[in-house]
Structure 1
Amino acid sequence: METALRSTKSLRDLIRTPLSLARFGVLATTLALSGCGISYQSPDVREREDGTPVVVVPMTAQEVSRANASDYTPRALPAVFYATTGGGSAVTGAGALPATPYLPSETPGSLDFRPLPDVQPEAYRIGVGDVLLLATKSGGSTIEQLSGLLAAQNQRQGYTVRDDGSIAIPEIGPVQLSGLTVQEAEDRLFQVLVENQIDPSFSLEVAEFHSKKVAIGGAVKKPSVVPITLNKLTLGQALTTAGDIAVRDREFASIRVYREGTLYQIPLKIYLDRQDLQNKVLLNGDAVYVDTSYDLDRAMEFYQAKIDVIALRTTARTTALQSMQAEIGLQRSALDERRNLFELRQKLGAEERDYVYLTGEVENQNRVALPYQQQATLADILYSEGGFDNTTGDPTQIYVLRADTRAESIGSITAYHLNVKNAADTLIATRFEMRPNDVIFIEEQAITKWGRALQQMFPSLLSATSAATGGG
């Protein structure tokens, strides 16, 4: 206690020195504790005992740009997280899907490209449900004998092709037109009118198209059934009729076309870049689906709902759908198993990760894994772990410690110093990118050091006082 008394005497001399209350308290506490053989160790940023230099650099915009220029590529997720259950080579025959393609882990994989084959569009052939319009020349003529034809001209009433493929003309009867082109249908009507001794001066047009359709669904604004008319229907025109494509993330979106047991696939990014793909001709019975998910659940529901609408009811096609569903289920189960295995290995620490470390007056001293596929900033790491309590942590003394990775052992250390006494400077933390093995350190407030030192000093002083007074 003799040493403690001498230290107390020295304190009286120091009182005359113009020190702040906090610094005086820390100094007084340090002297008192050292006199009793007790010292409170408070971490700070300084040169290491082995002489390794620690260079303190203010975290300015220029220094942040220089620090961010260091080479670092975030780790990639395994390829299984980019695989889809619709990948593989062309689907033919029964419609079974092949195995998922190999995708490298360094970059996100791309969807398999299986474009529609080029087809030569044929002339439109009249079918069941189409509405035909017969029109006569203006003015009276012997055609007036055919009241139905005049009604078609004057009242714009047409003739619907019935289930048996014919239209019924008053005073003439049924005329078979299904399966004929417009030109062939005009020839057939001309012959019928002549045979019935009626002036064959007329014109024929298809007023409404109902016999040939293409179904459009998935990520479009207006899912619908689009009719095929006299003009060829292209993939781009069909999607425009359905309100165009409506997706947020185009990376994994694709346009899938199901045609007679074969599933074709065009990645959306490729489709938008190529006019020839937008001009692909669609055929009667095609089902187009804009898919944005990793599996084909919604696509399969769409196909099955629309297959009946477009009259794809054969046993072979039903078998194709069942095969597709079974294969998709197997692929999905395999993907889920591999993804679950990766997550389990990660929990057990068997997967290599990059980490940064939080220490000092942070809310949660911890080791934090850097994210996959993207850069993390100082603000991301610090505030995702709760930030820091500025009643104990000094907002003017925030450091990111980074060692020179080019050295075999720990070489020179750079301490990037962030002062957020002005809260606006916190924005700098949102620009500073983290690197593996960075250490984020926040120093104590001066008053915090003093308070903690007093907490350790008082029990010792009370014990020493009690011993000096004989326990009384």
Structure 2
Amino acid sequence: MNPESDADRRQAALPYTLLPITPSVIRELEDRQSSRAQLPLEGSLRPVEEVRNRGYSYRVGAGDVLNVVVWEHPELTNPGNELRDTQSAGRLVGPDGKMFYPYVGNFQAAGMTLAEIRDYIAENLQRVIRTPQVDVRVLEYRSQRVFVTGEVEQPGVSVIDDTPRGILDLINEHGGLRETASRRLAVLSREDESHLINLHALHARGDTRYNIALEPGDVLHIPDNSADKVFVLGEVEEQGSVPIDRNYMSLTEAIASARGMDALAANDASVFVFRSGVQPGVSQLCDCEPEEALVFGLDLSRADGILLAERFELQPRDVVYVSATDFARYNRVVSQILPTVSTLFQLDRLVND
């Protein structure tokens, strides 16, 4: 592969650009990665801390069970003095969002906060009670549900209560992540839209911006790590795929995970990383089109090459290829020819004998 051969790369079935790995390229890639991490959250996504700081009030929904207490009026709190526990004496918000209370009648409770329900009941009770003192609380939270699927220990349903709940809370409530779970990304579905959540920033860096506050109907999906792999091929001791467990893997780590380069056959001066797909901001790295694949080249026979390899961050589905030396290629050609030559030699001896 020759970086000067522009015609070859432009006319290839899949156009590519050969780009030597240099300190400036490393810095540019790191800046792009940092800028992507600083992108604002999409649409209605808000960190749970922001929701808490702004003041959060739970809004009652259909199916919730409320407990209404009118002080010094047990006949309203527990009509008929029935021997029932507090739980069974609660007031159910019906499927239509309405709730009944004596001397108040049916009213639309769904969508109201507890303070609004308390004030509404107290205002309507003034017809029969002087300055009523009313307290309202939720006995059972049933209306607002969120779902978690995929690679968690206990996929299922959770309900939102009077405390804002974020993505981390939901994952922990369901037993945490499985060994096969992706540590890079999660998918949050809300109102027919899907949003990618940076799990690595949340878990490894503690970036609470990605601890998104959940809303009723949200579906959080944790994918498996099958897409979080790089492939190491060529003159290494053990070719194969290497999972990115911590969302970060350097070129050095990938080669080391393949048990290093073959000491006899590898050409450490010709190590390549193949990266396909659309490359945002690629024009800042080279004179190439955004849809072109990138092939990064590195000389690991130099001391600075090893230092650069440690700083070069691999992306999922990257292919690392370690080239063979010319002598190794020559030996392979000879090893393939040798059986034929040996056979001809034996045939010649048989004929001569």
Question: TM-score, normalization: structure 2?
Answer: 0.49
Greater gyration radius:
1
More helix by share: 1
Task: Compare relative contact order (CA 8 Å, sep 6+) and give the higher one, 1 or 2.
Answer: 1
